[in-house]
Amino acid sequence: MARILLHTCCGPCTFYPLDRLRAAGWDVRGFFFNPNIHPYQEFQRRLEALQAVSEQESLPLIVRSDYPLERFLRSVAFREGDRCLTCYTLRLEAAARCAAKSRFDAFTTTLLYSKRQKHALARRIAESASKKYGVPFYYEDFREGWKAGQARAEKSGIYRQLYCGCIYSEKDRFFGSPSRRRTARKASDRFPVGGDTE
């Protein structure tokens, strides 16, 4: 059976892509590397949620628990408006590198599931990481299963985050991203902004 490495941003976004990949005949392994998440306690909480999904769904995981936050912040400083490009590149290149090194047949990402993400940008960066590291990228528009995946995550009782991940998106929860000019939100609003979508 062909093996695929699934870059996982968090537990809730893993259910639907995992089901789809397994239905398509892939042997799936999860890969966690998300040093964009701030603060560190949130990073740990999301990792624990993913580990709970891993147990529930018998999904083997490769976890990179290193946390090069400084590298992430330095690379987005003064380019905060384009931060998602840097963020996707950091994470998806790590996934492609790991997939190539461990001889997976392909890699993909749960970022393609979330309606909150910049779908076209994530796809483009994954395609260039695929060329750079010589490992195929599997593309599917997992957003089609958004509602089903959300319902599944809610039913499972795992932690569901309130913002995309970085410190800037945490601020956007309350003040809105500059380009969208959103009004302030309540602290209880769930994951309203993950960078502007495209």
Instruction: Establish if 10 lies at the interface with ligand SF4 (CB under 6 A).
Output: no
Q: Which of residues 27-46 bind ligand SF4 (CB under 6 A)?
A: 36
Q: Pick from 119, 164, 173, 192: which binds ligand SF4 (CB under 6 A)?
A: 164
Angle subtended by helix axes 83-101 and 119-133, to nearest 10: 40
Residue 119 and residue 198 in contact, taking contact as beta carbons nearer than 8 Å: yes
| Per-residue exposure over 5-26, b if at least 16 CB sit within 10 Å of its own CB, e if not | bbbbbbbbbbbbbbbbbeeeeb
Q: Pick from 4, 87, 95, 125: which binds ligand SF4 (CB under 6 A)?
A: 87
Instruction: Establish if 84 lies at the interface with ligand SF4 (CB under 6 A).
Output: yes
Residues 177 and 173: their CA atoms lie apart, in Å, by 8
Whether residue 39 has a cis bond before it, omega within 30° of 0: yes
In whole angstroms, the minimum distance from the beta carbon of 50 to ligand SF4 comes to 16
Q: Pick from 150, 165, 173, 192: which binds ligand SF4 (CB under 6 A)?
A: 165
In whole angstroms, the minimum distance from the beta carbon of 71 to ligand SF4 comes to 13
- The 90-129 contact track toward ligand SF4, x by CB under 6 A, reads ----------------------------------------
Single-letter amino acid, residue 98: C
- Residue at token pair 């969208």: 180
Q: For binding to ligand SF4 (CB under 6 A), which residues are involved?
A: 36, 83-84, 87, 164-166, 168-169, 194-195
